[in-house]
Amino acid sequence: DVLNAIHRAMQTQISHVDWARLSKSDEIEIARAYTRRCRAFPSVEQFEASQGVRRVDYLLKKYMFKG
Predicted confidence (pLDDT) per residue in 13-58, tens digit: 999 999 999 999 999 999 999 999 999 888 999 998 999 999 999 9
Residue 52 lies in a domain: yes
Residue 66 lies in a domain: no
- Structure pTM? 0.85
> Alpha-carbon distance 35 to 30, whole Å?
9
Amino acid 41: pLDDT: 85
Amino acid 58: pLDDT: 96
Residue 67 has pLDDT above 70, yes or no: no
Number of domains the chain contains: 1
What domain range is 6 assigned to?
2-59
Residue 16 lies in a domain: yes
Measure Cα distances from 31 to 25, 37, 51, 57 in Å.
Answer: 10, 10, 13, 8
Residue 65 lies in a domain: no
Residue 28 lies in a domain: yes
